[in-house]
């Protein structure tokens, strides 16, 4: 939903904490309890002070956090921020003991659920533990049959031995749509991947060119429109639809070439070499006079190699947010020898890589070309890209389906990013994808070149306007249907639902479980749900706070958590979790609320002071 995730993903999710030994918190209890912003907390000097950081959008969870912690030996100070950017600023400044955090594994594989968050040096990690690092690397090289035991050891050390996090729950993925306007069959809900905009369609197809489809987001500040520089809820769905990738995920998290830049892909014997045969019917889109235009530049192998090289290189851009996702990529290169493909077998098969790449193609491979302008799929002239990993690592395909692996224009990005990365000055250097270049009233100078089905034309504090790429898989089933998409920025959940019901927006992504009954009761609306890869958890500060030094203090919080309270409050639409792995790998571990243990660890912390 953090979400590297990244909130996701990463879509940023609500984080809430529940403590054991307390009465069950109901919806009415939460509604009647003091607002986090009232400052009504009563200080008890015999209790331990703790500061909880969160966002106002998570008010219900924050109320539960405050009440449960207060009843389990803590004086709670709530640090409530209005939006994600201010929340992140407080988090970066260290102004918290624990923060309500969340993560959505938008690639469908377990390595993504842990690497960025908990590995030393990870894009979003504030931890450093050699044992944790070793287990992450061990599991990454294992098959699904092998890695369950390793991930169980990982969760044991992460949660129970060290209490680096305190898990709360996993969630449903949900969206509500106006079925009088949108064709429900065109609206996909996938376990991991973001909503594919190119498949959306009106019931009345005559509206495609004249009416805008209106979506919604809570975050008007966009981290970056360069896909490698952001991995959070403000841009995940946007960049997923702005940049095509080598592969996609199906709705149930299987890797597929459908709707991607590759017509087919194959894993070679040994699980270290991966081959992709590219389609020739995508050009980059640009914006001219605030409308989308065809640049005439084809998306090709040189752009793929450039994009993957910069994705894996931490120093390719300042503030690279996603490099650990791609650190297993050793190299990417163009294949020009057809015979080489005939001499390589597919992993676990007697089939050649060439035969695997040719499956279902109208024309077999007659020749391979290095120049993308010379590719002609209809005549059997193709481009093939080979990606080699540092070690056998099949999960690399899941990462290549992530928005951070979106294909950018080599020519355009090099033309924009002329600054010295080591000397980057945000006050004067304007990098590719800077949101100011698409923001009205700022330095609007849209320099985007996008390879996906849509391109962002401009934004303001109210909405962002996208137009379809006029040269994206034209004539195929994957060509975008609706010409214009608007994303309205509405921070408040109640206001968003009201906008959906009034027809101001047509689809509400990530509806709160507390609103399901309202949606179901509206005859023009349709609710879609499925179990997601989203997990909410409590993240402890690791610097300059008592929780950073005291495992006893962290465990006092851990064993106070009663996940049943959240499940009850959300009407059974939340599920138990141990870590961000829980929706993907069942390790058999379970966190049980234990008030006696919580008191024991809290007393041990007090005695150590």
Q: Average pLDDT for residues 223-248, to the nearest whole number?
A: 95
Instruction: Give yes or no for residue 23 having a pLDDT over 70.
Output: no
Is residue 365 a contact partner of residue 263, using CB atoms and an 8 Å limit?
Answer: no
Residue 65 is predicted with a pLDDT of 82
pLDDT in tens, 178-217: 999 999 999 999 998 999 999 999 999 999 999 999 999 9
Q: Average pLDDT for residues 542-552, to the nearest whole number?
A: 95
pLDDT in tens, 393-442: 889 999 999 999 999 999 999 999 999 999 999 999 999 999 999 999 88
- The residues pairing with 527 across neighbouring beta strands, listed in sequence order, are 176
Q: What is the mean pLDDT of the chain?
A: 90
Instruction: Give yes or no for residue 374 having a pLDDT over 60.
Output: yes
Instruction: Give yes or no for residue 476 having a pLDDT over 90.
Output: yes
Specify the DSSP class assigned to residue 449.
Answer: -
Q: Average pLDDT for residues 469-480, to the nearest whole number?
A: 97
Nearest Cα to 94, choosing from 556, 552, 539? 539
Q: E-strand spans in 183-251?
A: 212-217, 248-249
Dihedral, CA of residue 386, residue 392, residue 397 and residue 403, to nearest 10: -90
Report the b/e string of 535-548 with b at 16+ CB within 10 A: bbbbbbbeeebbbe
> How does residue 115 score in pLDDT terms, banded at 50, 70 and 90?
very high
Instruction: Give yes or no for residue 42 having a pLDDT over 80.
Output: no
Residue 183 is predicted with a pLDDT of 98
Residue 34 is predicted with a pLDDT of 38
Q: Average pLDDT for residues 350-369, to the nearest whole number?
A: 97
Report the b/e string of 554-586 with b at 16+ CB within 10 A: bbbbbbbbbbbbbbbbbeebbbbbbbbbbbbbe
Instruction: Give yes or no for residue 43 having a pLDDT over 70.
Output: no
Instruction: Give yes or no for residue 30 having a pLDDT over 50.
Output: no
Q: Which two tokens stand for residue 100?
A: 């309500």
- For residues 205 and 434, give the distance between their C-alpha atoms in angstroms, rounded to a whole number: 35
Residue 33 is predicted with a pLDDT of 35
> How does residue 142 score in pLDDT terms, banded at 50, 70 and 90?
confident
- The residues pairing with 331 across neighbouring beta strands, listed in sequence order, are 388
Instruction: Give yes or no for residue 32 having a pLDDT over 70.
Output: no
Instruction: Give yes or no for residue 27 having a pLDDT over 70.
Output: no
Is residue 208 a contact partner of residue 482, using CB atoms and an 8 Å limit?
Answer: yes
Is residue 102 a contact partner of residue 15, using CB atoms and an 8 Å limit?
Answer: yes
Cα 436 off chain centre by: 22
pLDDT in tens, 48-106: 999 999 998 888 888 888 888 888 899 989 999 988 889 999 999 999 999 999 998 98
pLDDT in tens, 301-323: 999 999 999 999 999 999 898 99
> How does residue 547 score in pLDDT terms, banded at 50, 70 and 90?
very high
pLDDT in tens, 488-514: 999 888 999 999 999 999 999 989 888
Instruction: Give yes or no for residue 35 having a pLDDT over 80.
Output: no
Residue 66 is predicted with a pLDDT of 84
- For residues 481 and 203, give the distance between their C-alpha atoms in angstroms, rounded to a whole number: 12
- For residues 110 and 144, give the distance between their C-alpha atoms in angstroms, rounded to a whole number: 10
What Cα–Cα distance (Å) separates residue 538 from each residue in 15, 201, 557? 6, 39, 9
- For residues 344 and 15, give the distance between their C-alpha atoms in angstroms, rounded to a whole number: 48
Q: Average pLDDT for residues 552-565, to the nearest whole number?
A: 93
56, containing H or E segment: none
Question: Rounded to two decimals, what is the model's pTM?
Answer: 0.81
Beta strand pairing call for 329-335 and 291-298: unpaired
- For residues 596 and 590, give the distance between their C-alpha atoms in angstroms, rounded to a whole number: 17
């Amino acid at each position: 939903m953090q979400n590297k995730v990244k909130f996701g993903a990463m879509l940023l999710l609500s984080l809430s904490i529940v403590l054991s030994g307390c009465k069950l918190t109901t919806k009415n209890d939460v509604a009647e309890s003091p607002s986090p912003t009232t400052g009504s907390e009563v200080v008890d000097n015999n209790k331990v002070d703790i500061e909880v950081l969160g966002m106002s959008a998570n008010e219900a969870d924050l109320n539960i956090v405050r009440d449960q912690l207060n009843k389990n030996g803590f004086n709670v100070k709530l640090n409530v921020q209005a939006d994600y950017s201010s929340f992140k600023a407080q988090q970066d400044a260290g102004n918290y003991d624990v923060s309500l955090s969340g993560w959505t594994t938008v690639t469908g594989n377990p390595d993504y659920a842990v690497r960025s968050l908990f590995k030393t040096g990870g894009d979003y990690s504030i931890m450093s533990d050699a044992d944790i690092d070793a287990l992450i690397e061990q599991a990454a090289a294992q098959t699904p049959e092998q890695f369950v035991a390793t991930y169980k050891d990982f969760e044991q050390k992460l949660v129970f031995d060290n209490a680096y996090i305190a898990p709360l729950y996993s969630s449903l993925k949900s969206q509500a749509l106006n079925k009088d306007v949108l064709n429900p069959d065109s609206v996909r809900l996938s376990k991991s991947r973001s909503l594919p905009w190119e498949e959306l369609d009106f019931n009345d197809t005559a509206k495609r060119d004249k009416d805008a489809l209106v979506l919604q987001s809570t975050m008007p500040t966009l981290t970056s429109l360069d896909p490698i520089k952001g991995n959070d809820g403000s841009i995940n769905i946007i960049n997923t639809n702005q940049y095509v990738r080598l592969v996609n995920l199906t709705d149930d998290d299987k890797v597929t070439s459908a709707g991607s830049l590759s017509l087919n892909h194959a894993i070679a014997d040994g699980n270290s070499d991966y081959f992709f045969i590219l389609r020739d019917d995508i050009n980059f889109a640009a914006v001219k006079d605030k409308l989308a235009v065809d640049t005439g530049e084809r998306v090709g192998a040189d752009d793929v190699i450039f994009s993957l090289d910069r994705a894996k290189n931490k120093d390719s851009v300042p503030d690279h947010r996603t490099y650990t996702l791609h650190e297993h990529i050793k190299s990417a290169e163009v294949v020009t020898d057809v015979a080489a493909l005939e001499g390589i077998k597919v992993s676990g098969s007697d089939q050649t890589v060439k035969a695997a790449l040719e499956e279902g193609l109208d024309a077999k491979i007659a020749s391979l070309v290095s120049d993308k302008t010379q590719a002609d799929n209809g005549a059997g002239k193709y481009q093939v890209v080979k990606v080699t990993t540092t070690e056998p690592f099949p999960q690399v395909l899941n990462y290549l389906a992530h928005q951070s692996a979106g294909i950018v224009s080599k020519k355009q990005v090099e033309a924009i990013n002329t600054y010295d990365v080591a000397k980057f000055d945000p006050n004067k250097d304007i990098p590719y994808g800077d949101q100011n270049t698409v923001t009205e009233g700022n330095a609007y100078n849209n320099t985007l070149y996008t390879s996906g089905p849509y391109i962002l034309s401009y934004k303001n504090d109210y909405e962002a306007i996208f137009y379809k790429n006029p040269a994206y898989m034209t004539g195929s089933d994957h060509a975008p249907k609706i010409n214009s998409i608007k994303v309205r920025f509405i921070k408040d959940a109640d206001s968003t639902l009201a906008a959906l019901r009034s027809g101001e927006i047509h689809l509400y992504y990530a509806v709160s479980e507390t609103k399901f009954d309202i949606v179901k009761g509206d005859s023009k609306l349709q609710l879609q749900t499925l179990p997601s890869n989203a997990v909410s958890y409590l993240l402890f500060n690791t610097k300059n706070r008592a929780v950073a030094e005291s495992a006893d203090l962290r465990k006092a919080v851990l064993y106070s958590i009663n996940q049943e309270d959240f499940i009850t409050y959300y009407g059974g639409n939340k599920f138990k979790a141990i870590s961000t792995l829980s929706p993907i790998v069942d390790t058999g571990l379970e966190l049980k609320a234990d008030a006696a243990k919580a008191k024991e660890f809290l007393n041990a912390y007090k005695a150590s002071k």
